[in-house]
Structure 1
Amino acid sequence: MYLVLIFSLQFYFLARVFKKNKLKTILTVIGLYFACSIFFGFILVILFFTKMIDIGVDLSQNPTPETMNIYSEAMLEYMTHSKIPVILEVLTFILIGIVYYSYLKRKWAFEVVEKEIIKQQEFLKKEEQTVFQKPKLDVYLHFHSVNEKNIHLVQPLAKVIWDECYKDILDRDQINYMIDMMYNSNKINEGIANGETWEILKIDNVPSGYLHYTYNKEDNAVYLYKIYLKSTNQTKGIGQMMMNRVLDFAQKNHAKFIQLTVNKNNQKAIRFYEKNGFRNVESKVFEIGNGYVMDDYIYKKTL
């Protein structure tokens, strides 16, 4: 009966680790123990009566109460002086304490992994539905590729948006410097010539935002350089539509991830990116000349 106690403790802690019903597990194991005992006892009786194990008594006689007592005493005597009980205890421990324990542990571990996979899939499905939901808009929207006819609209639009976005983050001189550096026509044309995408978003035919992104074949990734929208339109779901446009572009190119940078103090933008499944992967300071730096986080979304 020592094995019953050992099994009870062994499977109690196993059930506790995997948060299973401990009493049910212990009772099942005790039942298995007695089932093994009955099975091995039945096998021994067959071996005794077929004389495969000789206990020194002729078992071929017709059974009577007297002969059955003799048989029982002979069996008990043989069992007492043989190593069979020890062998049976070892076999029982191997079957239950090792084989069944390993089976149960593996089964429950797979259940835990399966639940985590299902949970993760449900989370990703919910996240994907959130990201790609199409906002209902009561305005006319249209993206225009930047070209010679409309390139002059980009810098004035950027100046308006940057004044709204960075007035409490960057000083005026740095804003002006960065606008001149990043949004001059030569810089934009150079990017377009290198395969980068520049787009102006018009809302009811009024320039209200812009996108700048590109697909890099070497990294198999999309780099989102700029996604800006006038503050008056940011609560209408238009910003989400702009992000969806970039996500669609990335999926069509089978990109592995999308990467962007964001100013560490731009909390509104950070919340928007994290809502869309981007995660902070690095903190970096970029020198941009004239003594100025961009103190940014690098955000990444794996596709």
Structure 2
Amino acid sequence: MQAINDISERHAEVIGLKVRRVTEPAAIETVSRLAGDIWRDHYKPIIGERQVEYMLNRFQSPDAISKQIAVGYQYFLLFCNARPSGYFAWLADTEDQSLHISKLYIDKPQQRSGLGRRIISVAEQHCRTQNFRYIWLTVNRHNQFAVDFYLRNGFVNSGAVVQDIGDGFVMDDYRMVKVLSVAEQ
């Protein structure tokens, strides 16, 4: 099995995903535009327009994404019918034997289609190849749609995390953890 871009291409195709690693400026721009569309649509009712714009600029601008990639985050674009339909990013911690999914966003027309579940499967497969013990992420605690999604997919809420992100804003999240059983590895 040929590994491409740190994800098994065969595994991604078997579960019906077209996934491409983001490394080039044009792909970074695509992720940033997609983030703007998804975040503005989904998060305005949860955290308000001002915080959405602040977070997009701070965390999902082309410059911010490039800096994250430079320190080890891996970004991936998800395609449906040759159209960018979502993205995800993770950061591996070999010392802790864990994978932090820092981003997992699907555009509205593709939500509830199983794509998020398939991305979790790709992350689990990656963990198996690296002998990682668990996957973790944070999710806004008022984003019940996403909290329920992660619970349905084997994650456990391990508690609240409130993080000051500047300009008077905080991320008010839950830390969600999925421990991989020995049989899964």
**Common topology (TM > 0.5):** yes
Q: Which residue of 1 aligns with 2:19?
A: 143
Alpha-carbon distance between aligned partners in 1 of 2:60 and 2:147, rounded to the nearest angstrom: 23
Q: Which residue of 2 aligns with 1:267?
A: 144
Task: Report the 3-state secondary structure (helix = DSSP H, G, I; strand = E; otherwise coil) of the residue aligned with 2:122.
Answer: helix
Q: Which of the pair is proportionally richer in strand?
A: 2
Task: Report the 3-state secondary structure (helix = DSSP H, G, I; strand = E; otherwise coil) of the residue aligned with 1:272.
Answer: helix
After TM superposition, the score normalised by the length of structure 2 is 0.85
Task: Report the 3-state secondary structure (helix = DSSP H, G, I; strand = E; otherwise coil) of the residue aligned with 1:235.
Answer: coil
Maintained 8 Å contact 1:211/1:226? yes
Q: Which residue of 1 aligns with 2:55?
A: 178
The alpha carbon displacement at 1:239 in A equals 1.5
The alpha carbon displacement at 1:219 in A equals 0.9
Question: For residues 121-140 of structure 1, what are the structure 2 equivalents within 5 Å?
Answer: none
2:72 counterpart of 1:195: yes
Which digits, 9 at most, give the CA deviation of each residue in 1:221-252, with x for residues without a partner?
A: 10010100012111221121111111111111
* Larger Rg belongs to: 1
Question: For residues 90-101 of structure 1, what are the structure 2 equivalents within 5 Å?
Answer: none
| Identity percentage of aligned residues | 34
Q: Which residue of 2 aligns with 1:289?
A: 166
Alpha-carbon distance between aligned partners in 2 of 1:136 and 1:198, rounded to the nearest angstrom: 19
Maintained 8 Å contact 1:135/1:237? no
Task: Report the 3-state secondary structure (helix = DSSP H, G, I; strand = E; otherwise coil) of the residue aligned with 2:51.
Answer: helix
One-letter code aligned to 2:90: Y
Q: Which residue of 1 aligns with 2:44?
A: 167
Task: Report the 3-state secondary structure (helix = DSSP H, G, I; strand = E; otherwise coil) of the residue aligned with 2:45.
Answer: coil
Q: Which residue of 2 aligns with 1:124?
A: none
Residue 220 (structure 1) aligned to one of 84, 91, 97: 97
Q: Which residue of 2 aligns with 1:39?
A: none
* Structure 2 CA distance for partners of 1:136 and 1:222, relative to 1, 3 Å: closer
Q: Which residue of 2 aligns with 1:242?
A: 119
**CA RMSD, Structure 1 to Structure 2 (Å):** 1.9
Alpha-carbon distance between aligned partners in 2 of 1:268 and 1:226, rounded to the nearest angstrom: 15
Alpha-carbon distance between aligned partners in 1 of 2:20 and 2:14, rounded to the nearest angstrom: 20
Residue 154 (structure 2) aligned to one of 261, 277, 284: 277
* Structure 2 CA distance for partners of 1:271 and 1:235, relative to 1, 3 Å: same
Alpha-carbon distance between aligned partners in 2 of 1:270 and 1:285, rounded to the nearest angstrom: 16
The alpha carbon displacement at 1:195 in A equals 2.4
Higher relative contact order (CA 8 A, sep 6+): 2
Task: Report the 3-state secondary structure (helix = DSSP H, G, I; strand = E; otherwise coil) of the residue aligned with 1:243.
Answer: helix
Q: Structure 2: which 5+ runs fail to align? A: 1-12, 181-185
The alpha carbon displacement at 1:298 in A equals 0.5
Q: Which residue of 2 aligns with 1:118?
A: none
* Structure 2 CA distance for partners of 1:250 and 1:136, relative to 1, 3 Å: closer
Which digits, 9 at most, give the CA deviation of each residue in 1:186-244, with x for residues without a partner?
A: 22222222222100111111111001102101211100101000121112211211111
Question: For residues 71-86 of structure 1, what are the structure 2 equivalents within 5 Å?
Answer: none
Maintained 8 Å contact 2:15/2:118? no
Q: Which of the pair is proportionally richer in helix?
A: 1
One-letter code aligned to 1:257: Y
2:179 counterpart of 1:302: yes
* Structure 2 CA distance for partners of 1:269 and 1:135, relative to 1, 3 Å: farther
Which digits, 9 at most, give the CA deviation of each residue in 1:38-75, with x for residues without a partner?
A: xxxxxxxxxxxxxxxxxxxxxxxxxxxxxxxxxxxxxx
Q: Which residue of 1 aligns with 2:107?
A: 230
Aligned residue pairs total 168
Q: Which residue of 2 aligns with 1:17?
A: none
Maintained 8 Å contact 2:38/2:107? yes
Which digits, 9 at most, give the CA deviation of each residue in 1:3-40, with x for residues without a partner?
A: xxxxxxxxxxxxxxxxxxxxxxxxxxxxxxxxxxxxxx
Q: Structure 1: which 5+ runs fail to align? A: 1-133
The alpha carbon displacement at 1:302 in A equals 0.9
After TM superposition, the score normalised by the length of structure 1 is 0.53
Which digits, 9 at most, give the CA deviation of each residue in 1:93-147, with x for residues without a partner?
A: xxxxxxxxxxxxxxxxxxxxxxxxxxxxxxxxxxxxxxxxx9986xxx4111112
